[in-house]
Structure 1
């Protein structure tokens, strides 16, 4: 029998690049989780916008169990039926004509950036290599993607970094105009910056990027790793904005927790990835693809996508109700069910304190930087769970505010 493991086991055997919570979840169902002690939590985190159909969705577990009894892995020496079905669904429901499968958002973005440089090389020669991205962006943790992401804290100590990268202010049209030129091979942008603070792009900004890329023969890449697969209220956010990229990356919710990612593009651009130029041992895994195919089938319905907007309104109203009592939020913002509440006053830069306190009240929420609470529940979270989660958040805020007030009332 295996020896029991606890949170302390992490400190004993795991590389210390994470600082996980003090409790260990062991079971999930719908929008609720339970830890080793049996304590229940409402899940407003969804594994960082991953379990968009909740935990243990019966239709997903059914197709996975069926595939487990058929075929686990082949490698890309062969193709497989689930991968082909998933690719066909993606090309039928998006702008894309070709799909590349891999395992994570970072891998999808790595593939997109490599493809953009290869495409520029094939069509314009070796001098068109510039990549423009946004400050406070997040595109993954490989050396290439973390360098393209505009957050220096993630590249410190890893130099020398890949070159010919230019980071500009998000939503700044003038900065885009100044940075994108004949030497630019690609522009990469998140339609909604997630890790950077839950900041939606303006339609005018994305339109300007499209215009400038067309003008300078650069490829426009949309990183929809977090906002994609229904979280915006459309299957992909580019559809809601009405701006079509040349390449789109998708991961997180695509597998509802089973590792899978995709890079979507056109026939013309895909042609630069000839045999041998890129690959992935596990990309297109049959088990991952059968789950992802069912995820898309379940999410890409009028009922689910319309429900995202309804839940957005309920959460926004709940956060504004809390703020009316306690005044801790400077702004509530976001798109669909990727929502952020920027903190102010005594709680400025204390988002992590609220996350830790909320867990004690049985609520899982996230941060987006040090000063924004991030709320990313399941797209189908029952309204009762949503309201219970908001009630637990209010109880958390009330407790923290009372502690601040008590401390302020003490004599100097």
Structure 2
């Protein structure tokens, strides 16, 4: 039986009882059993009692409604808190909520991955010990708000974050309590890019300064002690020409790399005959290879011919890779160039395999970095600028491909990449 029906039934019973009492008094007064005053007094008491019960019941009903409203508001608040916590938990950036006792009241999933899965309820200073962070958090929790700037936090795994600390009022007034929110913004990639740019400027300056210093030294010698020495003139001018040519190659490679980066997100759409392209590059590099007795072989599957590529840029890729193979592979060996169809039939797989000394594993991941060399002295002696593989990498990135390098010491190195094969359109479509 529901509550409204019970309440109505109780009210009906009480009213019936009072009505019965009044009827009985009226009957007794009519037969002379009680006086009029006595009957009126008893009836008034019964009516007052009934009125008091009615007022009490209405007050209880009003209080029940207020309780229901409070419960409803509490339920809504709880739901909104849960929804807010769920949304914060999905944030890709770490976030902490610190209570007045300096303990972590809430940590989203990213924060738990960064600081530990069991950080909830622990004191925040167990994880963030920097003095400027401690000062900022103390000031906020004590109600002294201000601009605390950005705090740099670096993990043991070389991940860097800019940490921001901000106040969160627990209520509408200051005396309701203050909490602090700690937000982590990862800047690892930005710092790495900044470091790479600084290294690039330093390396480029060094690569240009070295030959310039040599040229200036030779000029000074020719104008001074060797002013009348024809043999010294001939020898020094030859070295100066070599150094000048190396500077020209370096500047050309820098300009080429800059142009390639400008077209990084412009995917090529021209169709190129890869067999003709590879044959042309092999013919142009044969002279360099012949000096060391290196021979080129080219093997391709019958159904490999056209690819979607920028012919000039892919020509540069093969020129750089085959020139490196001719210079750095062992003398009197072969360099094998191969083209085959990939497993899906949508790409042509191209590989260049030499029979050189191989490259140690610790160098492979850095070979495509600008100015990185396995053997700096040998590379410079061969006329290398340290940008060849970096240019190859950026060209292939534009072609939505990557340069895969596999090597074993004493067994040679394999450079491979893929290029898309143009797909025939369905005639019925």
TM-score (norm 1): 0.21
**Could you say which structure has the greater relative contact order, defined with CA pairs below 8 angstroms and 6 or more residues apart?**
1
**Greater helix percent: which structure?**
2
TM-score, normalised with respect to structure 2: 0.20
